[in-house]
Structure 1
């Protein structure tokens, strides 16, 4: 929780011509610079740190949801466990409280003082994004006492309080971005400092409304859930793929490369799952076209995205792994890495990527396709079943993501051929609401959110809302058993789980378990099965 300035130092070293040594010489305060720096020197590093943290922790959340699976036979995350005495899966905690922390506060204070209200607005939105990701991942977090000067222990806030604070931050962000006074994006420096939208205020406002929709739709199991609130926010959010929030990378070295790229090699021990392959090769019962594939004529029509998103095995076929089963004995049938190699140990910086796993490939933070599936679910719940509005949103989401993934297809002619057949299939794209199911909505959302940080975090939140397909009847009376058709739970769970599935990540070990023990004890943090304690947002109202 202590104040740090290393992001500011990196920013100064990187973005201005004055030497770091000279800059440091003028400071006498050992805990920070004597004067607050211009906001444009903070923002790029804040955005990068938050993006990396989301990707980092999603690597593990993605194993809980079987987006991908370890090549090992005893991986703790495949078994819904957690690492002991380790910070391995709590990078978001570090980013929100340490890397962003006071740097974000200083950026906003500097922007306020210099009438750069666009930076203030973006700051509120990034703060809200950090809180949303952190609480959805960990459950109770520290918010009201965070960054309190001279305080060394911090009480946890319940998730309901945090959710309301997130909404307040987003409203403040929108209000500041809508201000007409102050300095515009060209003069403020936002246009050059912003790695996501290049200073486009209108897109940041849409992003804020998208996050408000995510916040509201998370509460489907509550009696207070209001689908109209979700839909109203979405009406002010993204209107096409052009609004997608993508953070860009230079991709020339480990410091500026995509965290999922071959230079970083952070995914070398992971492979795509059997579940995602089933969704894309026409074998999942909820997304099974009647027609056969134009190329693989003995198979059902393959989703065009399979060749753009998935890594083939050495024999050219697409397969996935099952949790705790390992790679398999037939070498030619083992799926390649996401960089086209047979082993994570032989990845080179120039290895050929699939999908979003390139060194310089922009990484999504929020997408139009994802938001359309949130709309489809909200419309479905509003009508307590299929409706034309839900179907329209579903079609928009599928089409948008197919269009997005096309850029990664090698054979675009085949991609387009399959696209036409897939979008014309009654089994995948119903022509009337009668054919639309909640399973189709959530499975297509799973595909659209596969392989990127916030998307897989969203998927884990969805899995917890639907209790991993366990029979649950929420307060609206809608039975949601078996929404994720074809999903099979791991053959074994970690011993500490006591037979329960993962519902939260433990707080960061080196801060909370070492220095904040009393507060952590109050929320049960020292129970060996704490990571299985259900979070507030997914619980039905009491």
Structure 2
């Protein structure tokens, strides 16, 4: 892996200012560089690969959480919580072990040797983010032996061990970012190569604390869970939307375009579900206010409940101008051909599978910045932690901050800002939707508002939340996710259970690492329904 040739860094050159020609002359070995490359040549590719992998696998995790469904559900059994043997559902696996892999190790080593400690810090944080996403998605993963070039088969590590390693890496990242020796961001090259924060060390430190909060908060079902530690981490993390971790895409070519953009044509058959629609149109029992029925200012919605102002920013209308969602196991078959005007458009605001976009919806554009972590998300984590700690006043404050922060985030995607602000004022004035007292706040409100704030990007966080609450199975009388229902009939191989993990990547594990996979039950037809460690009561 150290013999990295120019072609392997072509993706990086699309984002960085330095092209292949500028470092071809470092070679005395005709097969590749015989010395470590500077860390700034690694970082853009690593960041973009991790973001694209999150989007890639998020398409499928998004089926489990009902962020969206598929127009023809029989073509995608993942809608029914299946997880067939395929590479299609394991791009994060490829990113963590291959695209990032040794490249990230080399970036860290190069940063240490060249005294570019900001790259070292960012490198450790990105490694931790890769492990967090990978283990939350797959459960047991290969960690200790992952980058041993002498091995050809690799043993799996339990998720509990991976979680500890994530904490270690994040603390190392913070330590390196706090170093005052070495080169600063302007002279190290981090300012020009960092696609997320432009080399801002303080924001990277806040990101690390945010990930520590996520890591610690996953363990709400453990006796060792410490909500006060989670609150402490959040308070050291983002302070406003200005700290949001957003990765930018140029959108000029397929290789530098967002995976969710129409140019790449990856989600043309995806449609919003009835669940997310209900959270935004006032029909969900937990996020409704009878006083607001008939209060929407738009003539098209006369007589209807006030629309959450974020609805027009996030979701696609039907051709007739109304907003609808699909039932995952039904898809667009709910409507006849004569009712084509009722079928929701795709997330590029186009009918059918067209890739010719209409007015932009949310971040589903070729050059739209994609979130990896946001202030609103972290405030809802704080709100839930405070709720668990019986600090209801802290929970209420964080809840309100989270809602308002996401409102501000969504406002950037609407054209009629006056209408947005009118709806927002009515929404914020509602005691039902925006309680001013502790008595009006519920755990369900916290989690449903977090679902809204992470919809379309925070797939693994949302799926982890739903697994922590076990999809409300056995808690139907007092559900956390009010209005959410699993498909009536899950995929046959699930044996009646919803998905709790994704299978490891087929081409590497099921083809070449069979013995290790057999030890963890990876060949069982219902392996993907085995509960992950973090969600188990302990």
1:458: which partner in 2?
461
Query: Partners in 2 of 1:2 and 1:508 — Cα distance?
Result: 23
Query: Partners in 2 of 1:466 and 1:281 — Cα distance?
Result: 25
2:528: which partner in 1?
531
1:337: which partner in 2?
346
SS of equivalent residue, structure 2 residue 292: coil
Query: Partners in 2 of 1:449 and 1:458 — Cα distance?
Result: 8
SS of equivalent residue, structure 1 residue 408: coil
Q: 1:347 aligns with which of 342, 347, 355?
A: 355
Query: Partners in 1 of 2:395 and 2:308 — Cα distance?
Result: 21
Deviations 1:341-397 (A, max 9, x none): 1112x213x5532011011110001000000000000000001xx711100000000
Check 1:399–1:338 CA distance in 2 against 1; reply closer, same or farther (3 A cut): same
Matched, 1:379 2:376: no
Matches within 5 A, 1:321-336: 321-327=326-332, 328-329=335-336, 330-336=339-345
1:3–1:102 CA contact under 8 A, matched in 2:
no
Matched, 1:482 2:442: no
Check 1:151–1:326 CA distance in 2 against 1; reply closer, same or farther (3 A cut): same
SS of equivalent residue, structure 1 residue 503: coil
1:302: which partner in 2?
307
Matches within 5 A, 1:108-257: 108-257=108-257
Instruction: Give the superposition deviation at 1:492.
Output: 1.5
Computed over aligned residues only, the root mean square deviation of the Cα atoms, in angstroms, reads 1.8
The TM-score, its normalising length taken from structure 2, stands at 0.95
2:489: which partner in 1?
492
Query: Partners in 2 of 1:467 and 1:3 — Cα distance?
Result: 46
Matches within 5 A, 1:275-424: 275-289=275-289, 290-292=291-293, 293-295=296-298, 296-327=301-332, 328-329=335-336, 330-344=339-353, 346-348=354-356, 351-383=358-390, 387-424=392-429
Instruction: Give the superposition deviation at 1:7.
Output: 3.8
Check 1:118–1:489 CA distance in 2 against 1; reply closer, same or farther (3 A cut): same
1:139–1:504 CA contact under 8 A, matched in 2:
yes
Query: Partners in 2 of 1:188 and 1:121 — Cα distance?
Result: 13
Query: Partners in 1 of 2:192 and 2:21 — Cα distance?
Result: 21
1:239–1:368 CA contact under 8 A, matched in 2:
yes
Which 10-residue stretch deviates more, 220-229 or 284-293?
284-293
SS of equivalent residue, structure 2 residue 48: helix
Check 1:382–1:274 CA distance in 2 against 1; reply closer, same or farther (3 A cut): same
Instruction: Give the superposition deviation at 1:194.
Output: 0.1
Deviations 1:65-115 (A, max 9, x none): 10000001322111000123x100100000000000000011111110000
Instruction: Give the superposition deviation at 1:258.
Output: 1.0
1:440: which partner in 2?
445
Instruction: Give the superposition deviation at 1:4.
Output: 6.0
Query: Partners in 2 of 1:73 and 1:333 — Cα distance?
Result: 18
SS of equivalent residue, structure 2 residue 69: strand
Query: Partners in 2 of 1:2 and 1:321 — Cα distance?
Result: 48
SS of equivalent residue, structure 2 residue 303: coil
Instruction: Give the superposition deviation at 1:15.
Output: 4.0
Structure 2 residues without counterparts, runs of 5 or longer: none
Instruction: Give the superposition deviation at 1:420.
Output: 0.3
Instruction: Give the superposition deviation at 1:235.
Output: 1.1
Instruction: Give the superposition deviation at 1:21.
Output: 9.9
Deviations 1:466-495 (A, max 9, x none): 1001136xxxxxx99410001111122111
Deviations 1:20-53 (A, max 9, x none): 895596434x4x5211100000000000000000
1:90–1:508 CA contact under 8 A, matched in 2:
yes
Check 1:508–1:20 CA distance in 2 against 1; reply closer, same or farther (3 A cut): farther
2:3–2:34 CA contact under 8 A, matched in 1:
no
Instruction: Give the superposition deviation at 1:301.
Output: 1.4
The TM-score, its normalising length taken from structure 1, stands at 0.94
When the two structures are aligned, how many residues end up with a matched partner? Answer: 526
Matched, 1:27 2:29: yes
Which 10-residue stretch deviates more, 287-296 or 434-443?
287-296
